């Protein structure tokens, strides 16, 4: 079945004209019909629009266009419901946007289409990307393809589950504190959070503007590198995108990893780290040694303050960003006696519990009398966290950690305990606070039930090539990424 293959496999077969873009799309749509009633990775998809794009790809292939020119020609790519596509719905997993239809496309969507991708589908997510389980979607939870009683992770749970269950070939998510890497780990795929500023966020609905980054989810490291190359680059429409050249990420995979120094942070051996997860990560570290990497213990002394820092910075920014959802210019409205009454009622009815909690927390830490004690202090601790990483990168080329302290937990297990849910992000959030890059890739499975375990590799700012190279060498020497969930068979 074509939907189970990778971008590189499909590109080769499309190039030889053995298969058509229409056949690949048809297999993806068939798989969605077969499994998505149960998994609920997709909120919606426009099959007619996808078919038109696939037909255009087939025409381009017939006219001699190659994958060297258009690396994603004919490849179906899904999008998290937080990225705008002109004339398609955009809900951010929330009721408050009502029947919103995007008046323009995000830069990443334009870039995917320029590269020939068949861009389709709205993938489920925690409302406004706030959550670690996709249980906060207003449209129902996404289930894990390895065990449907468990979460797919979050907030990009739909993007991870759809790739793992072979409903699309690759997808885009967004990562504010681990929202690409954690669901990728729990669903057994590759998830990449690029350096802040690497990919334009024009057309990405903002959650926490100093932390948000768009990134790819894919079935193997090479595919993630292809997606990263296509979507990266400076964009005058996003003033936080960095005018740095985009390297050939595919070529970066081929360099040997012998002699690279890999840091193991001693602070990451915490209580609450599952024994099987720890075992898989330790085995992965030994594998890196076999491949010629040098393992060095490093210290990130402010690790234990990262979760507290994050939940001040991210909620403060969210409270400002989400002020735009006021029932005036777009989305749902609940009428009121005066404008303030309208705002309060619209936002009270339109936002779900977690979004309300975070906006309220953010408003509190920014409010008069508390700003310095909370927000300013958190920004200073953020400086210390960033310094920890920059100091460590003086000694090592990359840092290896677990992605998540446990494999996928049961649906409902942490739904009513926000603090426990926040603490499950411990390994991923520092990366966003420090503005560095990171990825997650499969490094094993728990025994009973069989659930994927993710390995996180963190790299220096704009050090994408190094962590891709490490991940690719590890992946090719172990083959964990070839294991398929029951939903794919």
Partner 1 sequence: MPGNFDVQYVARLARIALTPAEEEKFGAQLSQVLGYIEKLNQLDVSGIEPTAHAVPMVNVVRLDEVRASLTNQEALRNAPAKANGLFLVPKIVE
Collapsed DSSP state (helix, strand, coil) of residue 1: coil
Exposed / middle / buried, residue 258 (Cβ in 10 Å: 0-12, 13-18, 19+): exposed
Residue 251: enclosing H or E segment and its boundaries?
A: helix 249-252
Q: How many CB atoms lie within 10 A of CB 209?
A: 15
- Residue 80 is among the residues annotated as catalytic for this protein: yes
Closest CA to 330 of 89, 75, 136, 160: 89
Spot the catalytic one: 20, 70, 80, 111: 80
Spot the catalytic one: 94, 105, 156, 179: 179
Spot the catalytic one: 94, 132, 133, 155: 155
Using the minimum distance from each CB to partner 1, give the nearer residue, 364 or 445: 364
Least distance (Å) between residue 169 CB and partner 1:
31
Using the minimum distance from each CB to partner 1, give the nearer residue, 288 or 389: 389
* Residue 182 near residue 149, CB atoms below 8 Å: no
Bridge partners (DSSP) listed for residue 243: none
Least distance (Å) between residue 434 CB and partner 1:
6
Using the minimum distance from each CB to partner 1, give the nearer residue, 12 or 344: 344
CA distance 383 to 65: 48
* Residue 186 near residue 477, CB atoms below 8 Å: no
Least distance (Å) between residue 206 CB and partner 1:
13
Using the minimum distance from each CB to partner 1, give the nearer residue, 6 or 319: 319
Least distance (Å) between residue 264 CB and partner 1:
23
State how beta strands 42-44 and 118-123 pair: antiparallel
Using the minimum distance from each CB to partner 1, give the nearer residue, 426 or 441: 426
* Residue 397 near residue 466, CB atoms below 8 Å: yes
Q: How many CB atoms lie within 10 A of CB 292?
A: 12
Least distance (Å) between residue 461 CB and partner 1:
8
Least distance (Å) between residue 339 CB and partner 1:
5
DSSP letters of 298-346?
Answer: E--TTGGGHHHHHHHHHHHHHHHHGGG-SSSSSS-----SSHHHHHHHH
Using the minimum distance from each CB to partner 1, give the nearer residue, 47 or 370: 370
- Residue 179 is among the residues annotated as catalytic for this protein: yes
* Buried b or exposed e, range 27-50, using 16+ CB within 10 angstroms: bbbebbeebbeebbbbbebbeeeb
Active site residues: 80, 155, 179
């Amino acid at each position: 079945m074509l939907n189970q293959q990778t971008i590189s496999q499909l590109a080769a077969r499309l190039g030889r004209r053995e298969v058509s873009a229409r056949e690949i799309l048809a297999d993806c749509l068939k798989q969605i019909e077969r499994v998505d009633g149960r998994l609920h990775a997709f909120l919606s998809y426009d099959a007619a629009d996808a078919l038109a794009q696939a037909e255009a790809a087939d025409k381009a292939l017939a006219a001699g266009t190659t994958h060297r020119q258009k690396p994603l020609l004919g490849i179906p790519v899904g999008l998290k419901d937080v990225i705008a596509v002109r004339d398609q719905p955009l809900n951010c997993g929330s009721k408050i946007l009502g029947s919103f239809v995007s008046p323009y496309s995000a830069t990443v969507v334009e870039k995917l289409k320029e590269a020939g991708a068949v861009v389709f589908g709205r993938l489920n997510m925690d409302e406004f990307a706030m959550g670690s389980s996709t249980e906060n979607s207003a449209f129902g939870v996404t289930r894990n393809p390895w065990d449907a009683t468990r979460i797919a992770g979050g907030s990009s749970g739909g993007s991870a589950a759809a790739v793992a269950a072979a409903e699309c070939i690759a997808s885009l998510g967004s990562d504010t504190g681990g929202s690409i890497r954690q669901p990728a780990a729990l669903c057994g795929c590759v998830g990449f959070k690029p350096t802040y500023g690497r990919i334009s966020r024009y057309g990405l609905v903002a959650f926490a503007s100093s932390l948000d980054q768009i990134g790819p989810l894919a079935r193997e490291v090479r595919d993630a590198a292809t997606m990263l190359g296509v979507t990266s680059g400076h964009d005058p429409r996003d003033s936080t995108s960095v005018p740095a050249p985009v390297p050939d990420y595919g070529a970066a995979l081929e360099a040997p990893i012998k002699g690279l120094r890999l840091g193991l942070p001693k602070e990451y051996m915490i209580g609450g780290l599952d024994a099987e997860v720890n075992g898989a990560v330790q085995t992965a570290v030994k594998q890196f040694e076999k491949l010629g990497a040098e393992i060095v213990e490093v210290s990130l002394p402010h690790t234990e303050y990262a979760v507290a820092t994050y939940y001040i910075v991210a909620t403060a920014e969210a409270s400002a960003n989400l002020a735009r959802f006021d029932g005036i210019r777009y989305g749902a409205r609940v009428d009121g006696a005066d404008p303030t009454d309208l705002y309060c009622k619209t936002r009270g009815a339109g936002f779900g519990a977690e979004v309300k909690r975070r906006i309220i927390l953010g408003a509190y830490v920014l409010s008069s009398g508390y700003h310095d004690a909370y927000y300013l202090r958190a920004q200073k601790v953020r400086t210390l966290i960033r310094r920890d990483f920059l100091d460590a990168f003086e000694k090592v080329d990359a840092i290896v950690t677990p992605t998540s302290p446990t494999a996928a937990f049961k649906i409902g297990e942490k739904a009513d305990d926000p603090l426990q849910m926040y603490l499950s992000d411990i390994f991923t959030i520092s990366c966003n606070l420090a503005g560095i890059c990171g990825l997650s890739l499969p490094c094993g499975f728990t025994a009973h039930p069989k659930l994927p375990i993710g390995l996180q590799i963190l790299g220096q700012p704009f050090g994408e090539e190094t962590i891709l190279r490490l991940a690719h060498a590890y992946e090719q020497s172990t083959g964990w990424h070839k294991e398929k969930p029951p939903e794919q068979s």
